[in-house]
Amino acid sequence: MVANAASRPDEESIPADDLSTAETLDRALDHWRERIDELKVQVDLAALDVREDLAKRLEVTENVFLAVRSRLSDARHDTGASAASLRRSVDQLLLDLRRAYDDAEAVVRRGRKAKP
């Protein structure tokens, strides 16, 4: 693979298919980061009775997000890992992330319904 000025130094040794997978996953994680940041705003706006529950669920969501980001970073340095293996591993973590996010979002919805 020919490295260009925009590529990261650790991407120079990654095969093109694996790099494409990593870039796709990076974009997905960027999208999740935006959604998590929106939930942080909801924590600030939430009624006191749901704020604590929402904050806990948001913390779980962020921890799963960080695990996905870490796994992706580790995979970039593991030249023996295939794109398929990386994808399976990260897909499971993304499923966990979606579940954690959905749980936190459900708390937001319940909090909105409880408002007079």
pLDDT per residue as tens digits for the range 92-104: 888 888 898 898 8
**Per-residue model confidence (pLDDT) at position 80:** 62
pLDDT digits (tens, 9 = 90+) for 66-100: 888 888 787 767 656 666 777 777 788 888 888 98
Measured CA to CA in angstroms, residue 46 lies from 53, 91, 100, 113 at distances of 10, 31, 18, 11
Residue 40, C-beta contacts closer than 8 angstroms, at least 6 positions apart? 58
